[in-house]
Amino acid sequence: MKYKLIVLDVDGTMLNSNREVTKRTVQTLRRVQQMGIKVALASGRPTYGILPLARQIDLDVYEGYIISYNGAQVMEAKDGQIIFERRIDPQMVPYIEKKARKMGLTMAYYDGNEVVSDDISNPHIVDEAQMNGMSLRQDEMISVGMDDWPSEIMLVSDDEQALNSLEEHMQRHLAGVMDTIHSNPYYLEIVGYQVGKSYAMSALVQKMGIQMSEVLAIGDGAADINMLQMAGTGVAMGNATEGVRRCADFTTLSNDEDGAAVAIERAIVREVRVADIPIDAINAQSGTTLMGNLGIQYTFASAERVEATMPVDHRTRQPFGILHGGATLALAETVAGLGSMIACQPDEFVVGMQVSGNHVSSAYEGDTVRAVCTPVHLGRSSHVWNVDVFTSTDKLVSSVRVVNSVMKKK
């Protein structure tokens, strides 16, 4: 498979204009993760503000990553382990505060689940806190009250010229000490030296042991440019500025048209081949699901046939040591589900509609049964599968018919 990592910007990319993740985007991101491709959300937001979005796309389940503070921190979504971090030297905070006060700028930083600012009535600061689900805390002297090295400091003003002037000053006098990111007209973000999404992406690629050519990056803002240029394939959103679009390999639809999902479907889902179906990765990721709890493991997958095994043990037997019929039906639905996922188009998804089985003989505790799933009908609105379940000696245990409904992503 060409890509092993997707690095996805959040605001203006994964989220639409209402700051929502659409159903199509959720389904597409879950699908590629089921294929064994890792996903990293990369944002200027604090980690606290990204976590709910990460859970929404099951980033914790599929062991993805969170790149926060515009690249100052990279964290594993599953257990919160930090794998990369660069903070601001606190000795520089009084200097930043002095400049901000002289130019009449509002100053703020993130502290856990709080946005700390010298003006919590500033509407941009209020919006930042609400967007990330964080509370506000007033601190007139930030450089005195700060008790930890900050990941990022925000300077806020509606006077974009003042922010541009300060950015130019800091780039001239503090090169090699701190970096600046001007993510939108009213924010100037101060970060540690060599902090950016591209640096964080490089650290993540090194940690995963993959090549940059195996990375697909998608974004819409100036903070995403280096990331798009560095990745094997860089995709600009349709709502991106002309400058961002020129730096990308291609441009997708806007964030209000599911542009990120469309780009991923175009680059990955449509290109997947039978040989690319990562059975080992799917099996490894099923540990906390019904499939994992019953011990189901895929052994073969193609467009014409899907096979899986399931042990007859304390998890799947009846009290008398015989394979439970309900477990057999769960096994059948599992193989038919993967079969439909392979068969459906990139803009489609499937849901189970009906399952019925004829149990013709018994399998006993200590045995391992094998399910063989083949298509009966692959239509535009439904898939019908036949699933035969055999013992280890090839005795037929059950013959099951599974019907899946094919639906278009919205």
Residue 148: band (very low, low, confident or very high) from pLDDT cuts 50, 70, 90: confident
Residue-range domains of the chain with CATH: 5-85+196-271 (3.40.50.1000), 90-192 (3.30.1240.10), 274-408 (3.10.129.10)
Of 3-12, 17-26, 62-71, 164-173, the one with minimum mean pLDDT is 164-173
Model confidence at 231: pLDDT above 80: yes
Q: Which residues are catalytic?
A: 333
Does the global pTM surpass 0.85? no
User: Most confidently modeled of 37-41, 84-88, 337-341?
Assistant: 37-41
Instruction: Give me the residues paired with residue 402 across strands.
Output: 355, 385
User: Is the Cβ–Cβ distance between 326 and 394 less than 8 Å?
Assistant: no
**Average pLDDT for 134-139:** 93
Cα separation of 398 and 282, whole Å?
A: 25
Model confidence at 275: pLDDT above 60: no
User: pLDDT tens across 59-117, in order?
Assistant: 998 999 999 999 999 999 999 999 999 988 888 888 888 888 888 899 999 988 999 99
The residue among 150 and 311 whose pLDDT is bigger is: 311
Model confidence at 1: pLDDT above 60: no
Name the residue among 345, 383, 379, 341 with its Cα closest to residue 262: 345
> What is the reported pLDDT for 368?
93
Name the residue among 334, 316, 318 with its Cα closest to residue 371: 334
Of 181-185, 256-260, 368-372, the one with minimum mean pLDDT is 181-185
Strands 382-390 and 368-378: antiparallel
Cα separation of 234 and 238, whole Å?
A: 13
Mean confidence (pLDDT) of the chain:
90
Of 100-114, 238-252, 272-286, the one with minimum mean pLDDT is 272-286
Query: How far from each other are the two terminal CA atoms of the chain, in whole angstroms?
Result: 27
**Average pLDDT for 214-229:** 94
Q: What percent of the chain has pLDDT over 70?
A: 97
User: pLDDT tens across 342-396, in order?
Assistant: 888 777 888 999 999 999 999 999 999 999 999 999 998 999 999 999 998 889 9
Model confidence at 229: pLDDT above 90: yes
Model confidence at 238: pLDDT above 50: yes
Residue 274: band (very low, low, confident or very high) from pLDDT cuts 50, 70, 90: very low
Cα separation of 290 and 287, whole Å?
A: 8
Residue 126: band (very low, low, confident or very high) from pLDDT cuts 50, 70, 90: very high
> What is the reported pLDDT for 91?
84
> What is the reported pLDDT for 382?
94
Residue 215 sits at the vertex; the CA angle it makes with 234 and 48, to the nearest 5 degrees, is: 90
Residue 270: band (very low, low, confident or very high) from pLDDT cuts 50, 70, 90: low
As given in the structure block, the two tokens for residue 199 are: 């640096």
